[in-house]
């Protein structure tokens, strides 16, 4: 046989014959068999190419359920991008249609306008429960189709031009030092960490305690580092308590007082396995734009984000678990989130690499490790405000405004999802094109540079968005 390409999609090995035209791909099984060269007829993979029931279509991709019940994603040329088994079989459904009240279509915003994100007329006295839950995407996630006109992800050193005045302070002035904010020189004292047998589990338990208090250590991974040190210092500010992570009895006492043991059992559900996943996250923005959704690539990745834990560490504490079978019982962090006060002021501390939220009395409420600009691509200075909030936004790549990636010289709409360029949240700031947003790579938060915006782990951004509203001030400090 000639022209055979092997690919693996979610554990399924697939043989694909190369050199097929789009007409051949979408022809009936009988037509393909009769027209194929004799030496290729024995390889009958017709079920992979027979489109079957169409469940999604736009100008870039088509998604079908083939006769074997598998979900097949093809590009407009007939190239298969992804094949996924549907656990428990597939129930036919009609193709999703755009909401008539939404000014977004499957191909992007109508007339290139700024999409309505539902928060344009928020009353001044709106509380933390004002914001409605985002609408369902129909694929197990939530989608608020608000556009983001900011391209921030390429490696620092890309060809974005900074020779302009966009980085001058939007508002001059300073709030000063809110509620005894410690200096950058004293904010992250080194914490004595557990040692010896079981040290990693003890430190992970301490990280869970920090996470519960709103003083996020980033990913829970059982490892010491600057993010844990920052969270420990912030924990004292929030609670008034100094907890020694090497003192197991002290940590456990605080865990019991705030929601129970550090780890609990969780049973993987049919919904966990059956939601929409993609085979991989492409680097090229034109390939991203072809996908129906920037979804998770596996149930394990999804569960890791759900429980704020490093994906590799989740596998480590659950040896032998496939994360692909409903009914599997796994060990996960017991987050036991506490109720938070509304955030009236945000400090984006560049020296600390931390976002700090304060209530109306100047008391620290939450603190998150963050990536805030870089020397080559600085974030704004001075004081700005929160303008609007979007959950699960899509993303507009515009090479005329930002950088140019590869040969992509046209505007591209990258669909929503946790693996999108801005993750699951976009908090737009009054400084044009800047915002606070999530990330597809939470393990790198606080350890890499950004192109001016403020990156948080998706789960931290999702918590923050429930505590703020338009008009909240954001001060960038050095």
What whole-number distance in Å separates Cα of residue 341 and Cα of residue 385? 19
**E strands present in 117-258:** none
What whole-number distance in Å separates Cα of residue 346 and Cα of residue 473? 6
What whole-number distance in Å separates Cα of residue 478 and Cα of residue 369? 15
Q: What is the pLDDT of residue 354?
A: 95
Q: What is the pLDDT of residue 157?
A: 41
219 to 223, 334, 343, 445: CA distances (angstroms): 10, 14, 23, 9
Bridging pattern class, strands 454-455 and 435-437: parallel
Distance of CA 450 to the CA centre of its chain: 15
What whole-number distance in Å separates Cα of residue 30 and Cα of residue 337? 58
Length of the chain, in residues:
478
Q: What is the pLDDT of residue 434?
A: 86
**E strands present in 327-472:** 329-333, 345-349, 354-358, 364-369, 371-372, 382-391, 395-397, 412-414, 425-429, 435-437, 454-455
Q: What is the pLDDT of residue 14?
A: 34
Bridging pattern class, strands 412-414 and 425-429: unpaired
H/E segment holding residue 387: strand 382-391
What whole-number distance in Å separates Cα of residue 414 and Cα of residue 148? 10
Q: DSSP H helical segments within 179-317, as ranges?
A: 199-212, 226-239, 248-257, 270-274, 285-290, 299-306, 311-316
Answer whether 202's CB lies under 8 Å from 251's CB.
Answer: yes
What whole-number distance in Å separates Cα of residue 114 and Cα of residue 46? 43
How deeply is 36 buried, as exposed, middle or buried, from its count of CB atoms within 10 A (0-12, 13-18, 19+)?
Answer: middle
Q: What is the pLDDT of residue 49?
A: 36
68 to 48, 51, 129, 455: CA distances (angstroms): 9, 11, 45, 42
Phi, psi of 35 (to 5 degrees): -90, -15
Q: Which letter does DSSP use for residue 142 in this model?
A: B
Q: What is the pLDDT of residue 64?
A: 64
pLDDT tens digit at each of 478 positions of the chain: 433 333 333 333 333 333 333 344 344 444 444 454 544 443 332 333 334 455 556 656 667 666 566 777 777 666 677 777 655 544 443 433 433 333 333 333 333 323 333 333 334 444 434 334 443 444 444 444 455 544 444 444 433 333 333 333 333 333 344 444 444 444 555 677 888 889 999 999 999 999 999 999 999 999 999 999 999 999 999 999 999 999 999 999 999 999 999 999 999 999 999 999 999 999 999 999 999 999 999 999 999 999 999 999 999 999 999 999 999 999 999 999 889 999 999 999 998 999 999 999 999 999 999 988 644 456 678 899 999 999 999 999 888 877 788 899 999 999 999 999 999 999 999 988 789 999 999 988 865 544 458 999 999 999 999 999 999 999 999 8
What whole-number distance in Å separates Cα of residue 291 and Cα of residue 420? 11
Bridging pattern class, strands 364-369 and 354-358: antiparallel
> 347 pairs with which residues across the strands?
356, 475
Q: Tokens for 52, please give them.
A: 């079957």
What whole-number distance in Å separates Cα of residue 431 and Cα of residue 424? 21
CA angle (342, 344, 348) in 5-degree steps: 110
Q: How many helices (H) and strands (E) does the chain have?
A: 11, 21
Sorted by sequence, the CB contacts under 8 Å of residue 79 that are 6+ apart come out as none
CA angle (31, 37, 41) in 5-degree steps: 70
Answer whether 148's CB lies under 8 Å from 419's CB.
Answer: no
Q: Tokens for 163, please give them.
A: 């020779």
Q: What is the dihedral of CA 108, 110, 112, 116, to 10 degrees?
A: -90
Q: Tokens for 179, please give them.
A: 């509620």
**E strands present in 392-462:** 395-397, 412-414, 425-429, 435-437, 454-455
b/e map 347-383, b = 16+ CB within 10 Å:
bbbbebbbbbbbbeeeebbbbbbbbbbbeebbbbbbb
Q: Is the pTM of this model over 0.85?
A: no
């Amino acid at each position: 046989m000639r022209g055979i390409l092997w690919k693996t999609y979610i554990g399924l090995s697939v043989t694909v014959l190369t050199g097929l035209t789009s007409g051949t791909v979408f022809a009936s099984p009988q037509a393909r068999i009769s027209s194929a060269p004799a030496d290729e007829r024995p390889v009958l993979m017709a079920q992979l190419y027979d489109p079957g029931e169409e469940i999604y279509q736009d100008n870039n991709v088509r998604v079908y359920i083939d006769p074997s019940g598998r979900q097949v994603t093809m590009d407009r040329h007939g190239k298969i991008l992804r094949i996924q088994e549907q656990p428990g079989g597939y129930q036919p459904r009609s193709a999703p249609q755009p909401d008539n009240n939404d000014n977004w279509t499957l191909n992007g915003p109508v007339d290139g306008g700024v999409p309505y994100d539902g928060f344009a007329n928020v009353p001044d006295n709106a509380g933390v429960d004002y914001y409605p839950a985002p609408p369902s995407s129909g694929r197990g996630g939530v989608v608020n189709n608000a556009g983001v006109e900011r391209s921030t992800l390429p490696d620092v050193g890309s060809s974005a031009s900074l020779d302009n005045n966009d980085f001058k302070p939007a508002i001059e002035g300073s709030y000063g030092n809110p509620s005894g904010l410690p200096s950058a020189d004293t904010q992250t004292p080194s914490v004595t960490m557990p040692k010896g047998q079981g040290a990693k589990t003890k430190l992970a338990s301490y990280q869970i305690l920090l996470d519960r208090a709103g003083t996020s250590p980033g990913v829970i991974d059982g490892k010491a580092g600057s993010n844990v040190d920052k969270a420990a210092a912030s924990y004292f500010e929030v609670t008034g308590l100094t907890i020694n992570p090497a003192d197991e009895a002290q940590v456990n006492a605080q865990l019991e007082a705030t929601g129970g043991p550090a780890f609990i059992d969780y049973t993987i559900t049919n919904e966990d396995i059956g939601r929409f996943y993609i085979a991989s996250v492409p680097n090229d923005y034109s390939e991203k734009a072809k996908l129906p959704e920037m979804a998770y690539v596996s149930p394990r990745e999804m569960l890791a984000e759900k429980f704020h834990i490093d994906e590799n560490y989740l596998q480590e504490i659950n040896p032998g678990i496939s994360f692909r079978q409903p009914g599997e019982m796994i060990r996960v962090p017991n987050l036991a989130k506490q109720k938070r006060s509304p955030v009236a002021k945000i400090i984006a501390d560049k020296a600390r690499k931390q976002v700090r939220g304060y209530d109306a009395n100047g008391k620290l409420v939450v603190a998150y490790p963050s990536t805030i600009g870089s020397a080559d691509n600085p974030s704004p200075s001075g004081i700005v405000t929160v303008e609007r909030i979007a959950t699960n936004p899509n993303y507009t790549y515009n090479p005329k405004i930002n950088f140019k990636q590869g040969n992509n010289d046209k505007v591209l709409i990258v669909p929503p999802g946790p693996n999108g360029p801005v993750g699951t949240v976009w908090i737009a700031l009054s400084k044009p094109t800047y915002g606070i947003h999530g990330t597809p790579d939470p393990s790198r938060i606080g350890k890499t540079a950004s192109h001016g915006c403020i990156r948080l782990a998706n789960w931290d951004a999702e918590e923050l968005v429930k505590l703020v509203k338009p008009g909240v001030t954001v001060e960038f400090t050095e």
